[in-house]
Chain A
Amino acid sequence: MNRPWIWTCTLAALVVLALIGVAPGQGKMDQLIAAAKQEGQLTVIALPHDWCGYGAVIDSFKKKYGLKVNELNPDAGSGDEIEAIKANKGNKGPQAPDVIDVGLSFGPSAKKDALLQPYKVATWETIPNDQKDAEGYWYGDYYGVLAFQINADIVKTVPQDWADLLKPEYKNAVALAGDPRTSNQAIQGVLAAGLAMAKGNMDGAADAGLKFFADLNKSGNFVPVIGKVASLAQGATPIIIRWDYNALADRDTLKGNPKVEVVVPKSGVVAGVYVQGISAFAPHPNAAKLWMEHLYSDEGQLGWLKGYCHPIRFQDLVKNKKVPADLLAKLPPADAYAKAVFPTLEQQDKAKQVITKQWDTVVGANVK
């Protein structure tokens, strides 16, 4: 008669163990949602609605969890976001950002300045190791590659590669989307051009990029205006070097007026990674954590994909067949991305030093 009891007890124990094993995962999430709802709102910064489809992502977060989202300065640069955390250290009001979305190099420096708090999302393991901090202070969120955004009504032959831009038919046509002394996008643009010119050699890429733009400027092809969608449409900057997701989003916004082509160059494809982090002084830490869970869930990652950004878990999603075919079709061809180079932090820093310091002298400030 002892045997059946032992079996029943073991079975019961196994069932209980199984329940305990399942419950924490679910319970933690529920606890987080409850705590976040009690905080009531999330403060974000530097998230333009047309950047990676953030508008839709924020709306889906609001609808799913019923939290208010307070959007600060969508025009902020990565440096602004860091300054905002620093300036609001003692402030629990709505001016203090809870989460930041900054360029790759700002992750480690923010961690060093004790501005972030660590958090590992549920899907942590599926984030590539070299795109996140091992202790969980910052983690890559999405990437894109630099592409040519072209006003096809003005530019008749579409350039396919960096060398094409030097041709005389593109006089007064080529612009960057920022100032290479201050904008990450512009610096990576110079680097990408250099990578193409230096035939893939990253060490010489920064100098080669500066020389490329010097030539572009000398031949009269370079326009120093900061390229925006308005100047693209107006014709002052018919070719802009931009992140592909911005270029594609602009193409949708313009709705064919004018016609826009987005071309990933054949060589010199540089990818830029942005990283997420939670402020160490966040007034709503649980809302912040819930936001992170949302962003790194399949739903959040696909939301970025809809905005033409490649989410950091892209390979994982593709492997598990989670990406709808029509979404894949709208993106640039996969083989363009196959050649993408992800500069490491050290490579980026070195390139930045070279480019920012020498831009004025090489691209001769054509000042009188």
Chain B
Amino acid sequence: MKRNVVVSWLIVLVGVLYFFVPLLGTFEFSLRYRRGVYSFEAYQIVLNDPVFRATFTYSTVLALATIVVGVVLVVPTAYWIQLRLPRLRPVVEFITLLPLVIPAIVLVFGYLRIYSSASVLPLTSTETTTDVLLTFSYVALSLPYMYRAVDTALRAIDVRTLTEAAQSLGASWGTILVRVILPNVRVGVLSGAFLTFAIVIGEFTMASLLDRPAFGPYLQLVGANRAYEPSALAIITFAITWACMGLIQLFARRTAAQLAGAH
């Protein structure tokens, strides 16, 4: 077993090198704002920009909303498919792969046609309803990841036995899902949540064409015409997003304990 730990550390080391060295390259470049010396000026410019804070907050809120809607949509569905409708699995899996290959720009042009102010469901007519539309489009974008993560988690537990046990104790479907299944697929839901959060923070096409003040369009604006600020922005975004994920993880751990009846 000791041999294994050495091998484990070696693998982790290779991983760390691969992931951190490109970040180092970006960081080094971002320090070159002033000619000949290393300075943090590019970072100051980015952090002092009020638009940075406003758009990041907006995207964070939307990301959290997307995660909630996504979990509420995917967990019961994946559970149901596993338990009762295994024949529908290929269909559902294929549907969840669609967002990966359909260009986001095609999707958003579709939304503009269907949900325009002249249609039955005028979601683009006010800012709030457009926010709702944007949230749902983000749920669609993150569907592949959320579904695959939750599905993997569900297959690792014995859903049938858990359900029967809970039912024999008199639990309703709601109780089963929230207090039995959800805590057991916590790892999968968390993975899905991380992936969703990252996607929403960086998403550009839909936010910009639906005309919402999200972080993605801001990133694009800075990145298009500047040399050093985009690198600084990339590092800052990386750091802040990592911190947000840490917070999500802390929150999830505490909630799962409460849901399962803390022990």
Contact = CB atoms under 8 A, between A and B. Distances in A.
A233 B224 contact: no
B211 A229 contact: no
B35 interface: yes
A50 B227 CA distance: 13
B124 A91 contact: yes
A73 B217 contact: yes
B55 to A, nearest CB: 13
Interface string B83-123: 00000000000000000000001000110110011110000
A49 to B, nearest CB: 7
A220 B180 CA distance: 62
Contact of A73 (B113, B130, B208): B208
A165 interface: no
B211 A70 contact: yes
Interface residues of B, number: 33
Contacts of B210: 95
Contacts of A254: 227
A91 B29 contact: no
A250 B113 contact: no
Interface string A36-48: 0000000100001
B231 interface: yes
A73 B209 CA distance: 6
Interface stretch (A6-14, A60-68, A81-89, A123-131): A81-89
Nearest to B109: A87
A253 B227 contact: yes
A90 B117 CA distance: 7
A270 interface: no
B220 to A, nearest CB: 5
Nearest to A231: B227
Contact of B225 (A84, A87, A253): A253
A168 B208 CA distance: 43
B227 A88 contact: no
Interface in A200-248: 228-230, 232-234
Interface string B120-143: 000011000010000000000000
Nearest 9 A-B pairs (CB), nearest first? A91-B116, A90-B118, A257-B35, A233-B227, A87-B109, A50-B225, A93-B124, A73-B208, A87-B112
Interface of B: 29, 32-35, 105, 109-110, 112-113, 116-119, 124-125, 130, 204, 208-211, 217, 220-221, 223-228, 230-231
6 contacts: A74-B221, A75-B220, A92-B118, A93-B116, A249-B225, A253-B227
